[in-house]
């Protein structure tokens, strides 16, 4: 069989990092093979993918040793299909004339891909332009601009919401009425203390996800929305997320979690909100 990827004894350390993200890695992949990368968050899975597609060392700066065979102009196309999929505006619209949701509860937002889950979360946070939409909370009406002040969204692609030069600064950027002790505790819960001086973009996918979640927790938002918060996390950190959401609920936060993770739902959710073509059905678990 034709070998398409060949990594020989590669070690790599990101710039400004004291520890190797990859250490003596060797991997061979033949054409047509499917390879599953497993390991805890931060173990190096994302770095291996960056190594394979050339982002390491050509984009992410650092020190590298070893040999990598790279692929260039490796193109593939499905015959007769110009686009992988098309999205029409009407498929993204929400049709929720009225919905009453209990406060200080965890609502699992579920549904097929493209059903409107992410659109719903963005709308709750005032990020979608819906002229007549509003949320009534504690007798006060919040429309689009007001929703931005009382909500916080952790996106599925957290790269869009990481801005600063260090993990600690990133988390403190969202701090509102949160004590320093609470910030330290949150960083410890998500194993971020040792990473506090690292650049967020040099982290693994799972580590970035934990930074974004920690940023949400130190904000003073009344409504927290999480879009697939466990997508890049191992089981241990998924449990940490579930326990943290339960703790937030006890503090009076109302939490919407878009997820396909049945284990997360079982651990912490109080209600299931099913989204189907923009329409919703709320039920107890």
Confidence of residue 81 (pLDDT cuts 50, 70, 90): very low
Q: In this structure, how many other beta carbons lie within 10 angstroms of the beta carbon of residue 4? A: 15
Confidence of residue 67 (pLDDT cuts 50, 70, 90): low
Q: What is the mean predicted confidence (pLDDT) over 154-170? A: 88
Q: What is the mean predicted confidence (pLDDT) over 100-121? A: 89
pLDDT digits (tens, 9 = 90+) for 189-234: 888 999 999 988 888 877 888 898 889 888 888 899 999 988 877 8
- Cα separation, 194 vs 233, whole angstroms: 18
Q: According to the model, what pLDDT value does residue 267 have?
A: 96
Ramachandran class of 42: left when φ > 0, alpha when ψ lies in -120 to 50, beta otherwise? left
Q: According to the model, what pLDDT value does residue 83 have?
A: 35
Whether this prediction's pTM lies above 0.85 is answered by no
Window from 89-103, 156-170, 219-233, 236-250 with minimum mean pLDDT = 89-103
How distant, in Å, are the alpha carbons of 38, 54, 133, 200, 269 from that of 19?
20, 21, 49, 15, 38
- Cα separation, 140 vs 147, whole angstroms: 11
Compute φ and ψ for 284, nearest 5 degrees: -75, 155
User: For residue 72, is pLDDT > 60?
Assistant: no
């Amino acid at each position: 069989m034709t070998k398409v990827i060949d990594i020989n004894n590669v070690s790599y350390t990101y710039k400004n990092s004291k520890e190797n993200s990859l250490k003596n890695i060797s991997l061979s992949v033949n054409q047509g093979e499917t390879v599953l990368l497993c390991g805890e968050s931060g173990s190096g899975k994302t770095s291996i993918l960056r190594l394979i597609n050339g982002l390491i060392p050509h984009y992410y700066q650092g020190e590298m040793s070893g040999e990598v065979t790279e692929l260039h102009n490796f193109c593939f196309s499905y015959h007769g299909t110009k686009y992988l999929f098309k999205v029409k505006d009407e498929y993204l619209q929400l049709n929720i004339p009225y919905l009453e949701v209990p406060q200080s509860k965890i609502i699992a937002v579920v549904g097929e891909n493209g059903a409107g889950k992410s659109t719903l979360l963005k709308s709750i946070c005032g990020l979608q332009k819906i002229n007549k939409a509003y949320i009534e909370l504690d007798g006060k009406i919040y429309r689009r601009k007001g929703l931005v002040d009382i909500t916080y969204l952790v996106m599925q692609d957290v790269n869009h919401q990481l801005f600063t030069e260090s993990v600690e600064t990133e988390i403190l950027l969202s701090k509102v009425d949160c004590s320093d002790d609470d910030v330290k505790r949150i960083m410890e819960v998500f194993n971020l203390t040792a990473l506090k001086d690292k650049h967020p973009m040099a982290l693994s996918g799972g580590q970035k996800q934990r930074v974004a979640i920690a940023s949400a927790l130190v904000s003073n938002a009344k409504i927290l929305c999480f879009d697939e918060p466990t997508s890049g996390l191992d089981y241990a950190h998924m449990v940490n997320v579930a326990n943290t959401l339960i703790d937030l609920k006890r503090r009076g936060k109302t939490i919407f979690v878009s997820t396909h993770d049945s284990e997360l739902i079982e651990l912490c959710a109080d209600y299931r909100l099913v989204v189907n073509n923009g329409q919703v059905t709320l039920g107890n678990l």
